[in-house]
Amino acid sequence: MTARTFDAIIIGAGQAGTPLAGRLNAAGMSVALIERKLVGGTCVNTGCIPTKTMVASAYAAHLARRAADYGVTLSGPVGVDYAKIKARKDKVSGASRTGLETWIAGMDKCTLYRGHARFESANRVRVGDDLLTAGKIFLNTGGRASVPDLPGIHDIDYLTNSSMMDLDVLPRHLIVVGGSYVSLEFAQMFRRFGSDVTVIEKSARLTGREDEDVSATILSILENEGITVHVGADDIGFAKQGDDIAVTFSTGKPPAVGSHVLLALGRSLNTDDLGLDRAGVAVDKRGVVIVDDQLRTSVPGIWAMGDCNGKGAFTHTSYNDYEIVAANLLDNDPRKVSDRIEAYALYIDPPLGRCGMTEAAVKKSGRRALVGQRPMTRVGRAVEKGETQGFMKILVDADTRQILGCCVLGPGGDEAVHCVLDLMYAKAPVDTLARATHIHPTVSELLPTIAQELKPLV
C-alpha cells in the first residue's frame, strides 16, 4: 500500500473536477484527481459532445432529404453511413478527452489516479492500494442512467444513453422508453438516420416540466417526422419476440415491437458506493449530497459539485459549481448557487432554449405578469430557412418589469435565448430589451418586438 498526502483530493474528472484541479494546481496546491472511468465525465464521453456531434449528422441527412424544397437537385436518394457517423463522433469525443488528459499531465502538482475512490474517513480516501489524505476533498462523481425494475427488463438486451454511444449498427426499429430531453434527442436523431422510432412515455405528455404549449409543439415536431409517440403509457413491460423485443403498455394499443430498446428514464447519482457514511457526509433519500449555497457539505473540508449535489444536472451548472467553489476558496469572491438562473436546452431540431420560470410557475407564484409570444411562422429568418415550427415566449413581472422567463423553440433557439438570459443576470427591465436594435435578419431580432407587445397573463 502506498500512502500519500495532498493539499486537495478531487473525486471525479468531470466538468467541475478537471478545471478545479487546474485552478488549485495553479495556486500552488498539490492535487490528487481520481477518475474510475473516462476523463471528461458524461459530457465528453457519452453526453453533450458525442450526442451533439451525431445530432449534426442527423441534421445534415434531414436537410439533404429536403433539398428539393430549396431548389436543390440530388442525383439519387440520400443514404446514411452509420459507421462513418459513429467514427466521426468517436473522433470528436476522443479528441476532447485526449486534450483534457494532456492538460492534466502537464500540471506540476497534479497526480491522476485511475480507480474507484472510497472514503475511509473525512480526510482519507482509498483508491485500490493507494491511501490518500487531504484537508480538502471535492466530489464531482456525476450520475448514470437509471434502470427501474420493470417487468421483463432483465430478459432483454436494452440500451442506455451510454451504451448507445457504442452501438455500431443502425437499429431497424428503435423503441425509446421515456419522453424527456435525452430520449427525444435520440428519437429524432435515429429517425433521421433511417430507423423506425417509437417513443413510449408514462406521463400524459412529453417533457412534463415544460409548459403545455411547448410539449404540444414538441410532439407535433416529432410526429411530423414519422415518429410514433405513445403517452399515458403505464404498466410498461418487456418480452422477447423472436429476434425482436416487444414493449407492452396500458393504453389499449398493441405492444410496440422493435429491434432495439433505449431506456431513458432519468439518472441515478454515483454516490452510493463512495463510503460517504464513513466520512459523515449527509445525503438525502435519493443519494443527493446535501450542500449549502457555497457547495459545502455537512463535513467541513468537503465540497460537492455537479450532478451529485442536486443543484443542476447539466455541464454548464457543473462548471458553474467549479467557479463558485474556486471563487470562494481562492478569490475571496463570495459567489453562491442561489445567484444562478435556471437555463437549459433541448437539442431536438428545432431546439428549445429555456431560461427562468415557465408560464405555469409564474401563474403558480400568484404575481401579476405579462406575456409576449410570436410563432416562428411570423419570424422572417425562420421563414427564409424553411424552418417555421415553434414559437418564442417572454414572461415579465407586471409590477417590476423584470423578465421572469423565456423560451425559444425554433431555429437557433438554444443560442437566441441568451439575449434574454443575459438581461436577467443584469437585472435589466424588459424595456431594455424592447429598445434594443438587433441584427436583421435573425431569429433574435423578434425578441425586442415581443417585448413591445406584452399582454396580461391570464
Residue 29 cell numbers, joined = 496546491
Query: Cα(352)–Cα(409) distance, rounded to whole angstroms?
Result: 4
Burial of 106 by CB count in 10 Å (0-12 exposed, 13-18 middle, 19+ buried)? exposed
> Tell me, what DSSP letter sits at residue 165?
T
- The amino acid at 135: G
> Tell me, what DSSP letter sits at residue 227?
-
Longest dimension (CA), the chain: 70
Query: Cα(280)–Cα(119) distance, rounded to whole angstroms?
Result: 10
Task: Indicate which residue of 154, 260, 418, 440 is catalytic.
Answer: 440
Are 323 and 303 contacting, i.e. CB atoms less than 8 angstroms apart?
no
Residue 404 cell numbers, joined = 421572469
Q: How far is CA 30 from the centre of its chain?
A: 32
> Tell me, what DSSP letter sits at residue 245?
E
**At 279, which helix (H) or strand (E)?**
helix 276-279
Query: Cα(391)–Cα(395) distance, rounded to whole angstroms?
Result: 14
- Sheet with 369-375: strands ordered across: 343-346, 352-356, 403-409, 391-397, 369-375, 455-456
Residue 354 cell numbers, joined = 429555456
Give the C-alpha distances (Å, rounded to integers) separating 55 from 22, 124, 259, 288, 351: 31, 42, 21, 31, 11
Query: Cα(77)–Cα(98) distance, rounded to whole angstroms?
Result: 37
- The amino acid at 36: R
Query: Around Cβ 180, how many Cβ atoms within 10 Å?
Result: 18
CB neighbour list of residue 110: distance below 8 Å, 6 or more residues apart:
21, 22, 25, 30, 31, 32, 33, 104
Burial of 83 by CB count in 10 Å (0-12 exposed, 13-18 middle, 19+ buried)? exposed
Positive or negative CA dihedral for 337, 338, 339, 345? positive
Active site residue 260: no
Query: Cα(132)–Cα(33) distance, rounded to whole angstroms?
Result: 11
> Tell me, what DSSP letter sits at residue 283?
B
Q: Which active-site residues does the annotation give?
A: 440
